[in-house]
Amino acid sequence: MSYRYTRHYTGPLEAVIFDWAGTVVDFGSFAPTQVLVDAFATIGLPVTLAEARVPMGMAKRDHIKTLGQLPDVARRWQDKFGAPMTDADVDRIYAIFMPLQIERVGVYSQPIPGALDTIATLRQQGLKIGSCTGYPREVMNALLPIAAAAGFAPDCTIAADDLKAGARPGPWMALANVIELGVKHVAATVKVDDTAVGIAEGLNAGMWTVGLAVSGNEVGLSLEEWLALTPAEQAARRQRAADKLAQAGAHYVIDSIADLPAVIAEINARLARGEQP
């Protein structure tokens, strides 16, 4: 006698796991990037905001190391210091970066328009709200009460240095949310992020993924700068960002968190039809 056991989850969704900067707070994702520019400037090596955005989504120590390995940055480093960047150099920049990030993270971290309404809608639907971030725990200890005062208090927050296994693009922070939130199946979870590495995190965890093209790192403009663009300029920048997130494997790409409820409804319908991430 044989038995057939199906592992397919048919819904409904149980949880949404959000990134922070560029996803729920900090339209344009300036807190992690501008502070990195300032930290590099402190040691006399200019980097551009565009360069600082390339490794976005990584844990900050990894972000600094990867930034230093970009060809143009590595060449300027070699020219200035006479040797490639070392792990000791990464540690030195990280030590400069951390107090600046803790001091300034709240300055940039107002909720993105529509974020609080969307999260309220998801909670009304019975969804749990998780989160994970490239920020280390020290930064999150500063940001969490600021965000709570503004109206955002997720049920779970995993910081980039909380886990021995590591951070993005590995699945571990997303899966830690699943454990802490008590979600029964990873297919009952949606990961929402504005970076390719954050989308990879969700995919590696076996989750549905939603990329945010306009509000985050890929467009990289403040809300005021975005609204000042012509419709044609907005369309061009949106398309470039959406293409990058789609190429990273995002199941859906939308402008911002404000557009998420319709996607949640569609994923629930797909699960009910037996589809999986």
Structure tokens at 10: 């048919």
Per-residue DSSP letter, 25: B
The structural architecture, per CATH, of the domain 15-29+109-272 is 3-Layer(aba) Sandwich (3.40)
Catalytic residue among 26, 60, 89, 255: 60
The domain 32-108 is classified under which CATH number: 1.10.3720.10, 2.60.40.10, 3.40.630.10, 1.10.150.240? 1.10.150.240
Q: Are 152 and 119 contacting, i.e. CB atoms less than 8 angstroms apart?
A: yes
Q: Is 128 one of the annotated active-site residues of the chain?
A: no
Measured CA to CA in angstroms, residue 10 lies from 121, 140, 174 at distances of 22, 35, 20
Give the domain ranges of the chain: 15-29+109-272, 32-108
Per-residue pLDDT tens, the chain, 277 aa: give them.
Answer: 444 545 689 989 999 999 999 999 999 999 989 999 999 999 999 999 999 999 888 889 999 999 999 999 999 999 999 999 999 999 999 999 999 999 999 999 999 999 999 999 999 999 999 999 999 999 999 999 999 999 999 999 999 999 999 999 999 999 999 999 999 999 999 999 999 999 999 999 999 999 999 999 999 999 999 999 999 999 999 999 999 999 999 999 999 999 999 999 999 999 999 999 9
Q: Are 63 and 134 contacting, i.e. CB atoms less than 8 angstroms apart?
A: yes
**Given the DSSP bridges, would you call strands 128-132 and 208-212 parallel, antiparallel or unpaired?**
unpaired
C-beta atoms surrounding 79 within 10 Å = 9
Q: Which residues contact 92 (CB under 8 A, 6 or more apart)?
A: 43
Q: Is 60 one of the annotated active-site residues of the chain?
A: yes
So what's the pLDDT on residue 6?
54
Query: Which residue, among 25, 221, 29, 30, has the nearest Cα to 112 in the 3D structure?
Result: 25
